[in-house]
Amino acid sequence: MFADVKTSRIPGFYKLSMDERLRKVAEFAGLSEEEVKLLKQFGNLDPRTADIMIENVIGAMSYPFAVAVNFLINGRDYMVPMVIEETSVVAAASHAAKLTRESGGIFAEASDPVMIGQVQVVNVKDPWYKKMVLLEHKEELLKIANEQDPVLVKLGGGAKDLEVRVLDSPKGPMLVVHLLVDVRDAMGANAVNRMAEAIAPYVEDLTGGKVYLRIVSNLADRRIVRAWTKVKKEVLGGEEVVDGIVYAWAFAAADPYRAATHNKGIMNGVIAVALATAQDHRAIEAGAHAYAARDGRYRPLSVWEKDENGDLVGCLEMPMPVGIVGGATKVHPVARIALKILGVKSAKELAEVMGAVGLAQNLAALRALATEGISRGHMELHARNLAIMAGATGDLIDKVAEAMIREGRIRFDRAKELVEEFLSRKGS
Ligand code: MEV
C-alpha cells in the first residue's frame, strides 16, 4: 500500500559516492537530466574539495563574486570582494566609500582577537565559594588550556584569562567559566572548544559539580571592531540629507523594529565579505545581533551624528570573529583569492576592513532612504537585469531599462517586447 511512498530514510547515504547520492536525490525529487547536470557543475570549487568540506554533497551552487571599489581604510586603498545575491549592495558600498574619501576615508580599529569559551557547571551547592576556588586555580586552568595549542601560544596567542559567573537559571544556580583566548589569525572556535573541553574535568574536580556544555560563545564581545568616518555635507547633497540620515539613525535607536532593518543593512556588507572570504558568517550574524541587544534592548550597531560644521559623522561597533588561517578560508580556492585581492595581513586587519564595509553599507542605505528612497536604485538594476535576460546587449540594455522605467512597466514580457522593437527598428 505504501510501496510508492518516497522516503528520505536512506541508511548509509553519506557513504555513497557523490554520483550515487545525486541519483537518489534525482529519483526522490524527479530532477531532470538538465537539473542534474547543472548541480554537477562545480565551477571553481573542485568536487573533491566540496566533498570534504561538508557531508552528503551532491553538487555546488555559484553566487556572483564582485568587488566593491573606492575603499580608503586607515589611509590604504582596498578592493573589497563581495559575494551576495542581492542587487545594489556592491554598487551602494562602492558609492558610499567614494563619499567618505574626500574626508580621509574610513578609519577602523579592531581589538585583540579574544574569543570566549564557556564551561557550564551544575549541581554546585556553594557556587559563590566555588567561584573563588576556580579563580584561585586560574593559572593551572590556563596552563591546561594552553597545552592544547602550543602553536597558538608560540604565536603570542592562547588562553589569557579566566572569569567565573554565577548564573540564576530556570534550573537553579549554575557556575559558568569563561576562558578568554587570544586566537590570533584564526576565527578560533575550534581552538577555544578544545581548550574548554580540556579544562572541564579539572573544573569538575575543583567544584564537585557536573560539567555539561563546553563551547565557544558567539557573543564575541571581547573581539570588537570599531569603524568611523566623516562625510562632508556638500558631498552628501546638503545639510538636509545629513539631517535625514541622523533622523534615520535616531529612529533605529528608538525602535527595535527599525533597528533590525538598520542592522540588516550593515550585515549586507559584512556578510558579503564574509562569504567571499569563506568565514563562518552565522557566527558573525549571531554575535552582531546579540551585541546589538546586550543591554536588554535591541539597538543599532552604528551611530550617525551631525558635527559642529554640519557634516555627517558616523561610527560602528560590533564583534568581528573572522580568520585568515584554518577552516574554509584556507580550503576554498576562491576564498584564498579573495584574501589576496584584499591584501590583508592579519585577521585583525580583515576585521577592520569588514567593519568599514559595514559602516559604508549602512551609510549608503540611510542616504538612499533619507532621499530618493531605496526602490529607485533597486528598480534601475532590476530593469537592467530584465533587459539583459530579454537578450539586450551593449547600449540596448540602458535603452530598454529606461523605457520600462519611463512607462512604469518593469516586467520581463515588456523587456522582451522592447528588445524586439529596438532590434527590428535597427534592422529596418
Ligand atoms: C536592504 O537589503 C537593506 C536596507 O533595508 C537597510 C536599511 O533599511 O537601512 C535598505
pLDDT, one tens digit per residue, over 289-308 is: 999 999 999 999 999 999 99
In 63-105, beta strands by DSSP E: 65-73, 76-83
Nearest residue (CA) to ligand 1, atom 1: 265
In this prediction, residues 40-58 reach a mean pLDDT of 95
| Nearest CA among 278, 222, 212 for reference residue 44 | 278
Asked if residue 428 has pLDDT above 70, the reply is no
Distance between Cα 392 and ligand 1 center (Å): 29
CA-88 nearest atom, ligand 1 = 2
Asked if residue 343 has pLDDT above 90, the reply is yes
Give CA–CA dist 291/19, Å, rounded.
Answer: 43
Least confident of 354-358, 378-382, 387-391: 378-382
Asked if residue 376 has pLDDT above 80, the reply is no
- In DSSP terms, 305 is beta-bridged to 313
Is 86 a known active-site residue?
A: yes
Average pLDDT, the chain: 95
Is 262 a known active-site residue?
A: no
In this prediction, residues 60-67 reach a mean pLDDT of 97
Nearest residue (CA) to ligand 1, atom 3: 265
User: How far is residue 290 CA from its own chain's centroid?
Assistant: 14
pLDDT band at residue 378 under the 50/70/90 scheme: confident
Question: Pairing mode, if any, of strands 106-110 and 224-231?
Answer: antiparallel
pLDDT band at residue 425 under the 50/70/90 scheme: confident
Is the alpha carbon torsion for 20, 24, 27, 31 positive or negative?
negative
In this prediction, residues 166-190 reach a mean pLDDT of 97
Q: Which set of grid coordinates corresponds to residue 349?
A: 586587519
Asked if residue 375 has pLDDT above 80, the reply is no
Asked if residue 5 has pLDDT above 60, the reply is yes
Predicted confidence at residue 109, as pLDDT, reads 98
Is 264 a known active-site residue?
A: yes
Q: Which set of grid coordinates corresponds to residue 295?
A: 543591554
Domains and CATH numbers, the chain: 1-62 (no CATH), 86-106+224-371 (3.90.770.10), 114-216 (3.30.70.420), 376-427 (1.10.8)
Predicted confidence at residue 2, as pLDDT, reads 56
Asked if residue 11 has pLDDT above 90, the reply is yes
- End-to-end Cα distance, the chain: 65
Q: Which set of grid coordinates corresponds to residue 202?
A: 579539572
Give CA–CA dist 249/11, Å, rounded.
Answer: 53
Burial zone of 160 (CB within 10 Å; 0-12 exposed, 13-18 middle, 19+ buried): middle
Q: Which set of grid coordinates corresponds to residue 255?
A: 525602535
Share of the chain above pLDDT 70, in %: 98
DSSP H or E run through 251: helix 239-254
Alpha helices in 102-149 (DSSP H): 127-136, 138-147
Asked if residue 141 has pLDDT above 80, the reply is yes
CA-262 nearest atom, ligand 1 = 9
Predicted confidence at residue 380, as pLDDT, reads 82
Asked if residue 1 has pLDDT above 60, the reply is no
CA-265 nearest atom, ligand 1 = 6
Predicted confidence at residue 358, as pLDDT, reads 98
Predicted confidence at residue 381, as pLDDT, reads 79
| Nearest CA among 313, 312, 262 for reference residue 288 | 262
| Nearest CA among 310, 307, 306, 271 for reference residue 288 | 271
Helix axes 89-101, 375-389, angle to 10 degrees: 130
* Ligand 1 site residues, Cβ closer than 6 angstroms: 86, 261-262, 264-265, 268, 365-366, 369, 374
Predicted confidence at residue 95, as pLDDT, reads 95
Annotated catalytic residue: which of 178, 264, 306, 416?
A: 264
In this prediction, residues 230-234 reach a mean pLDDT of 97
Asked if residue 154 has pLDDT above 90, the reply is yes
Give CA–CA dist 197/414, Å, rounded.
Answer: 61
Annotated catalytic residue: which of 378, 382, 399, 416?
A: 378
Burial zone of 35 (CB within 10 Å; 0-12 exposed, 13-18 middle, 19+ buried): middle
Is 280 a known active-site residue?
A: yes
